Amino acid sequence: MPRSILLGRPWPQPGEEFFTTEDTDYAIALAEEERDTCGQCGLLKVWCRDPKHQFSFEPHEETCWPTYRLAQYQESDKWKAKLDDTKRATQLSVRFRDGHEPDYEAGLDLPDQRGDADERADDR
């Protein structure tokens, strides 16, 4: 999909170019970046493959808690009791437990809906 269309350019009419010159430039830049990025560590290959940087890196560990909970579930008797074909056909995912959902609007700086309604009423 061309970048310009993703950013809102109207769908081209018959005979119009699908990829603009700018779209092509962005696609080439992305392909070059992906080529130069290590698929294992995610850093630029020029850094991660250079022996002079061998001891420059510090391991860092983080835990993805949804993945942790899925791993726990797969070790449970409930999961192990399922037939193998059922396990292979099951798509596991996680959801927030009731009462533990995060504030999905946190950090978005959205106006308070109640305050907006009060302001509109004052403007009348």
Give the model confidence (pLDDT) of 81-114 as tens digits. 999 999 999 999 999 999 999 998 888 887 776 6
Buried b (16+ CB within 10 A) or exposed e, 110-123: eeeeeeeeeeeeee
Q: How far apart are CA 80 and CA 78, in angstroms?
A: 6
3-state secondary structure 25-90: HHHHHHHHHHHHECCCCCCEHHHHCCHHHCCCCCCCCCCCHHHHHHHHHHCCHHHHCCCHHHHHHC
Q: Is residue 14 domain-shared with residue 46, that is, in the same domain?
A: yes
- Provide the domain limits for residue 82: 62-95
Residue at 43 is within a domain: yes
Answer yes or no: pTM beyond 0.85.
Answer: no
Q: Is residue 46 domain-shared with residue 78, that is, in the same domain?
A: no
Overall average pLDDT of the 117-121 stretch: 52
Q: pLDDT tier at 116 (50, 70, 90 boundaries)?
A: low
In tens, the pLDDT along 6-44 reads 999 999 999 999 999 999 999 999 999 999 999 999 999
Q: Is residue 36 domain-shared with residue 77, that is, in the same domain?
A: no
Cβ–Cβ under 8 Å, residues 22 and 3? yes
Is a pLDDT exceeding 60 seen at residue 117?
no
Overall average pLDDT of the 33-62 stretch: 94
The DSSP letter of residue 16 is S
Is a pLDDT exceeding 70 seen at residue 124?
no
Question: What phi and psi, each to the nearest 5 degrees, are found at residue 36?
Answer: -90, 0
Structural domain tally of the chain? 2
The pLDDT of residue 48: 94
